[in-house]
Structure formats: structure tokens, C-alpha cells
Amino acid sequence: MRALLLSVLAAGLVALPATAAQAAPASAAPGPDVVLVGTTGLQWEDVDPRTTPALHDLATRGALGSTVVRSLRSFTCPADGWLSVSSATRAVDADLAADPADAELLPFGSCRALTGPGADRRIPAWDVYTSVDARGSYGAVPGTVGDALAAAGRTTAALGPGAAIALAGTDGLLDGSYAPVDPADPAALTAATADALTHADVVVVDLGDVRGTTPAERTTSLARVEQAATAVRDALDSTSREAGTSTTLLVASVADGFTAPRLQIGAASGPGVGSPAAGSTLTSPSTRQPGYVITADWARTLLAVAGADAGVRTTGAVVAATGPGRPAAQAIAALRDESLRTVEVRSLTSPHYVGYALLVIAPIVLAGILVRRRPLAGSSPRTARLLHTAALVGASVPLAATLAPLVPWWRTQIPWLTLVGVVVVLASATAALASTRPIARAPLGGAGLVAGLTTLVLLADVVTGSRLQLNGVIGTQALVAGRFYGVNNTTFALLAATTPVVGVALAAPFVARGRRRLGALVVGLVGLVVLVVDGLPSLGADFGGPPALVPGIAVTMLIVAGVRLTWRRIVAVLGSGALVVSLFALADWLRPAAARTHLGAFVQQVLDGEGLDVVARKLSQNVGGLFTSPLALVGVLVGVALLWAGFRWHVFPTEPVREAVAVQPLLGAALAGASTSLVLGFAVNDSGILVPLVGLALLVPLVLVTWTRHLDEVALAGAAADDAATPEA
């Protein structure tokens, strides 16, 4: 026992110096704690050791990544980006395209040209900024970072107008020193930077803007930014050598360079971020994705390194490095490739959904025409098989589109054609597998296989980090900055549609032997796996998923078990969904604040009295999506067109559904469960109408797969009967 106590005491004494060193403020040593070198419009495609050596040097000293700068509109102006740093969350300037007022505008768009503070040290247009963000949906408070640094007793220095916005207090006044950035006078800029580095704890530099829509247009502004970067680099290196200390250096572009959004550069080095190896990969708990950070992460990291982040409300997290170091050229090439992927995906997402909708509508219309013009017994086996194959291919498209990023189609000469080819090949291969005799003969075999593979791939991707769905045509786009990990709304819609189908397909053999309760248990086990992956904060982190999935799974289980649905049971089912998501959210909230996802963050927002604001924003996005989303508009128009065609020509494809359910009664249980989840998903998710549209686009082909299989059997039986009735010659 004495030896144990002595060893514990010795370990504590050894740890004390390290703990004290960590707790001591960095200002005890000469030089600043942290330097944020910011710019706007600078992409990794612009950074080159030959043409921009200073920028390349500053950006490749540690971990490298891409900054997602999305604010509250489709592109981010310089004022938006610097306000987001100042607010530590998404913020935005006034819409100057609608009302330019007296603001001076930058070229290429409707962005405000920033100017430094006047003699009164007040930031120009500060009242406009605070007024606009007070009405915003993220509760941004410009000046949050400046107030936090002042409260912590940290001295600051701003160089350039954007830096002044970042460090101003909520009153719009700049407390620390300020110097303009003039690339035309590098000696003066070097001296001003060196002065700031020697007297301030926190230094923020605005190198200026890189703007333009073509490389030629960007060359001039890029040269100015490079000149400023050279002066800042020289001052930073000189100060570090003289002081003998290592400053935490953050390099970030915080806004777009024109009206088309792009990934911007991001890099971090120094002790405040763990002294990452040069060429390692930058990441953040905000994104959970290697190579991705958001603008608010830079604000949170700056505050954390300066020891001023306690109690600050922010949507950002402290950046970190992952993976080993590698040559700068290799790291930059990977980031450029990811940037290219985001651009190509953004241009093809809407066409993909439109094409998929047409692919789904075609067999629906053919089925309706077939039902109207030809009795089932008289159907041609060839027609039935053709329709069956079309339905299988249509049902396999979501799976194929999810797997498509495994082939780097965006690097090819004609990306859209390559993507179409990849999706067609993968969907056709899946359809061929589902058409094999052992699978096709099983109850719900073809539909169950396609649904099962889709579910398996989606869950596996979520568990392994959602790398396929991020920047996939059927997933989420990083440039939108809505969700980087977990189960997004499209994935939820697909899982809501496939989970009951997979469950009843696996339960069918048990139900056929009269073991309905065991079949219901199988459905429940499938649903439980999906629910755990969807709802766990460390995996799916889908706040709106469990309240919609649980009732759908429960409805399917009750029908499979042969239990009659009553209003009391329906209310209990809905309540169970709310209970499950509440438990997930509470468990997440109990974790440290830095480790919480948006589930735990919502609990804290409710406790802070901000829950209604979050709900209102989600409802606004839901309702607004009905009128502003082109995909939602396409879905609504398609639905109206089908209804009109039905009333006009009496071609209603409802008989296939009745026939399919009559042949496979368990399919009715799956449809009831999936419909329940999709309707509830429409109500609780901010994607609104897209949730049921995406789910139905998968459910309908799955129903047609079952119906056309039955149609094929009827057609074959009819053909055999005709052959038997035909007298031999």
C-alpha cells in the first residue's frame, strides 16, 4: 500500500509542471499567442510555390484543409466572412443587391467594399451589421470575439478592415491597435506587423480580397494579396527568431471571391493546435470530416488558444490535425481534387434528381397503360419482364448513386456523362443480381435485395464517416454547410423507405409458417439496427430521425404480428418516437460541450430559452422549401401531371399496388410503416417535401418490382394455357 501511495504521489509531482505549463497563459512568453492571417476568395488552386511563395509558405507549415465559408446566402461576401469570425457563428451583411444604399461595392457581385475604422475607432456600417444579424436565424452577435478577448484581458492588434471587424466589440469599437494593409508599401506593412506581433496577445491580419470569375481576372488581386503575405511572413519569422518562441498561426480565407461558392483555404500550425506535422490534414469536431473546417471554427480556435473561449456561444470548434505529415504538393493536390468534386457535384445534383424522377415516372405510366389496355392474363411475358427490369433498375439508382464516388468521375473530361455511365452500370448490375432465380423466387426477393443492399451501404457509410454521401449527388454538399456527417435528410428518407421492406422480406418465411410474432421481432431487430445508427450522436446524430422511424417500424411490427391498429396504440407509437429522440438528445447533452452534436446543443438551447427560435427556423425552412426548392417544385409538378393524366385518360396505376399487396400481404405492412415514417419525416425535418418525395421515388419502384414479378408469372401461366389449348397439327 505504501509503495502504491508513493507511486501515485510521484506521478502527481511529475504531472504538476506539465499541468502548470498548460494552464499558464501564453502571454507569459514574448510574442503573440495566436495570429490569424485571413483573406477572402483564396482557393487552393491559387496557392503555388512559384507564383505565390509567401502564401504557400504560410499555408503549408502545419495541417492543411478547406474552409467552408457558407453564411446565410448561397455565396459569402467578405463582410459576411469577417462578421462570422467576429460572431463565432454564421453572420451576414445586408442584401446590397436589393438595396445598395450608399455602400461602395466590390467588383463581381454585390458585396460591400470594407474600410477601416475612423478616428472614433468605430467600424463603418456596424449598425447595419448588428441590425441584420439580430433578425437572422442563427442569433449572430457581431463583436462576440472582441468582447471575449477583452474580458479575458487579452490585448489585440488588427491589420486591415476585415481584421478590425473580427476584433471589434459588440459596441462596434475597436479596443486594440489598428493599422491599414497597403501591399504597395511592403516596408511599412512589415513594420506595422512586427509592431503588432511584439505588443499584442492576439493579432488578426486581413490580406485583402482575391476576386474574379476567371484566372486572368484573379491574377491582379492575387498578386496584391501575395505582396501583403510576403510582408506579414517576413515580420512573423523575424519576431519568432528574436523572441525564440513559436506562435500559433492560423491561415484562412473566410469568404468567396465571386457569386459562385467555392471551398477556401485553411491551415493551422503551432503549439495551440498541437504542433501538427507539415502536410497533415486539418479537421474539426464541427465537420468530423478530414480536410474540412467551417469559418466559426477559426473564431473558436483563436479564442481557445488565447484562453478566452469560456462561456462563448459559438457553432464552431477547435481545429485539429489528423493523419501523418506529407509533402505539401501532395496535400494541396488532394484538396484541389476535393474542391473540383464539390463544384461538379453542385452542378449535377438537380439534374440527377430530375432524371431520377423521370426514370421512376416512366414505369409508373407504363404500368397504368398496361393495366388499362391489357388484362393481366393476356400480358406478354416479354412486356412483363421489361417492366420488371425497368423497375429494378429504377429502385437501384439510389444505391448506385451512393456508390458512384468510388469511381472519381469528376476528374474525367465529361464528368456528367461519366457519372451517368457509372450509375447505369451499378444499377444494372444490382438489377441483374436481383433477377437471379433464387432471389426472384423468394417472397419479396427482388425488392428485399435492392432495399437490403441500399440500407446496408447507407448504414456502413454513416458508420465509417459518411464519406460517400458528402459531396455525392444523392447526399449532402459541403458548400451548403448543412451537414457534414451522420444521416442527412436524403439518407433518412431512403432508410425510412427501405427499413420496413427489408424487415418484412426477412420476416416473410416466419410468417408463412404461422410464426407472426417471430416475424414481427425480425422487423423490430432490423429497425433497431437502423434506429441506433440513425440516432446515436456519435454516428447518425439525426435529431428528426427517431421520432419518425420509431412509429413507422412499430406500425410495421404490429401489422406483421396481426395486431389491429387503434387510436390508442397509434398515440403510444408516436410517443415512443418522441421518447427515443429525447433520450438520445439528453445523452448527448450530458457530454462535454465541446463534444456535443446538434442534438445536445438543442437541449442546451432549450435550457437557454432559445428552443423556439430553432424550431421556428426549421419550420421556416420546411415550409419555404415547398416554394423555393427547384426539386420540390419538380416533384409537385410531376404529381399534378400524373393526377391530371389519370383523370383525363383514366390511367391510374393503383391496381399494381393492390395486386402487389394481394400477392404479398406483408408488402402492405411495409408500405404502411414507410408511409408513416415519411409523413412524420416531412413534419419534423427541415427538408420538408423532399423527404416524402425521395422516399416515394424508391418505394414505388419496389412495389412495381413485386407486381411485375407477379405479372410475369401470370403471363407465363397464360402462355402455357394457350399452348396447351392449341391443337397439335
Written as one string, the DSSP assignment of 256-273 is: -SSSS---EEEEEESGGG
**pLDDT for the residue 96:** 76
Determine the average pLDDT of the residues in 112-134.
92
- Beta carbons within 8 Å of 284's beta carbon, 6+ residues apart: 292, 293, 294, 297, 316, 317, 318, 319, 320
Where does residue 414 rank: exposed (0-12), middle (13-18), buried (19+ CB within 10 A)? exposed
Q: Is the pLDDT reported for residue 30 higher than 60?
A: no
- Residue 687 banded pLDDT, cuts 50, 70, 90: low
Q: Is the pLDDT reported for residue 649 higher than 50?
A: no
Where does residue 580 rank: exposed (0-12), middle (13-18), buried (19+ CB within 10 A)? middle
**pLDDT for the residue 468:** 95
Distances in Å between the Cα of 473 and the Cα atoms of 155, 403, 595, 632, 683 are 47, 10, 29, 16, 24
Determine the average pLDDT of the residues in 77-103.
87
**pLDDT for the residue 21:** 35
**Lowest-pLDDT range, 28-42, 474-488, 604-618?**
604-618
Give percent above pLDDT 70 in the chain. Answer: 78
Write down the pTM of the prediction: 0.84
User: Between 403 and 3, whose confidence is greater?
Assistant: 403
Alpha-carbon 495 to chain mean position = 17
**pLDDT for the residue 12:** 40
Determine the average pLDDT of the residues in 602-618.
62
**Lowest-pLDDT range, 314-328, 448-462, 628-642, 688-702?**
628-642
**pLDDT for the residue 212:** 85
pLDDT 10s digits, 250-304: 999 999 998 889 999 999 999 999 999 999 999 999 999 999 999 999 999 999 9
Determine the average pLDDT of the residues in 26-51.
84
User: Between 622 and 20, whose confidence is greater?
Assistant: 622
pLDDT 10s digits, 507-516: 999 998 999 9
**CB 678, CB 690: distance < 8 Å:** no
d(CA 479, CA 69): 8
**pLDDT for the residue 602:** 64
**CB 530, CB 719: distance < 8 Å:** no
Q: Count how many residues are written for the chain.
A: 729
Structural domains of the chain in order of their starting residue, each with its CATH number: 28-326 (3.40.720.10), 338-719 (no CATH)
d(CA 501, CA 503): 5
User: Between 294 and 102, whose confidence is greater?
Assistant: 294
Determine the average pLDDT of the residues in 366-382.
61
Determine the average pLDDT of the residues in 640-663.
60
Alpha-carbon 406 to chain mean position = 18
**pLDDT for the residue 682:** 81
Mean pLDDT of the chain: 83
Task: Tell me the β-bridge partners of 122.
Answer: 173
Q: Which three cell numbers stand for residue 570?
A: 397509434
User: Between 381 and 19, whose confidence is greater?
Assistant: 381
d(CA 377, CA 715): 6
- Residue 22 banded pLDDT, cuts 50, 70, 90: very low
Q: Is the pLDDT reported for residue 502 higher than 90?
A: yes
- Beta carbons within 8 Å of 600's beta carbon, 6+ residues apart: 537, 585, 588, 589, 590, 591
| Strand ranges, E, within 298-409 | 320-322
**CB 315, CB 88: distance < 8 Å:** yes
Task: Tell me the three state secondary structure of residue 447.
Answer: helix
Handedness of CA 225, 228, 234, 236 (dihedral sign): negative
Q: Is the pLDDT reported for residue 332 higher than 80?
A: yes
Q: Is the pLDDT reported for residue 20 higher than 50?
A: no
pLDDT 10s digits, 138-180: 789 999 999 999 999 999 999 999 999 999 999 999 999 999 9
**pLDDT for the residue 14:** 35
Please count the CA atoms within 13 angstroms of the CA of 364 that sit on its side-chain side. Answer: 27
- Closest C-alpha among 24, 711, 695 to residue 366: 711
Determine the average pLDDT of the residues in 704-722.
65
**pLDDT for the residue 551:** 87
Highest mean pLDDT of the ranges 148-162, 561-575, 620-634: 148-162
Q: Is the pLDDT reported for residue 1 higher than 50?
A: no
**Lowest-pLDDT range, 301-310, 560-569, 614-623?**
614-623
**pLDDT for the residue 16:** 35
**CB 262, CB 43: distance < 8 Å:** yes
**pLDDT for the residue 174:** 96
Exposure string for 146-176, b = 16+ CB within 10 A, e = fewer: bbbbbebebbbbbbbbbbbbbbbbbebebbb
User: Between 649 and 274, whose confidence is greater?
Assistant: 274
d(CA 571, CA 569): 5
Determine the average pLDDT of the residues in 31-52.
94
**pLDDT for the residue 206:** 97
Determine the average pLDDT of the residues in 214-235.
92
Helix H or strand E segment including 251: strand 248-253
**CB 483, CB 491: distance < 8 Å:** no
- Residue 597 banded pLDDT, cuts 50, 70, 90: low
User: Between 637 and 486, whose confidence is greater?
Assistant: 486
Query: Crossing angle of helices 445-463/415-434, nearest 10°?
Result: 130
d(CA 98, CA 493): 36
Handedness of CA 325, 327, 329, 334 (dihedral sign): negative
Q: Is the pLDDT reported for residue 345 higher than 60?
A: yes
**CB 294, CB 481: distance < 8 Å:** yes
**pLDDT for the residue 655:** 63
Exposure string for 638-647, b = 16+ CB within 10 A, e = fewer: beeebeeeee
- Beta carbons within 8 Å of 291's beta carbon, 6+ residues apart: 64, 65, 66, 281, 282, 283, 334, 335, 338
pLDDT 10s digits, 402-440: 999 999 999 999 999 999 999 999 999 999 999 998 888
Please count the CA atoms within 13 angstroms of the CA of 263 that sit on its side-chain side. Answer: 29
Radius of gyration of the chain (CA): 30
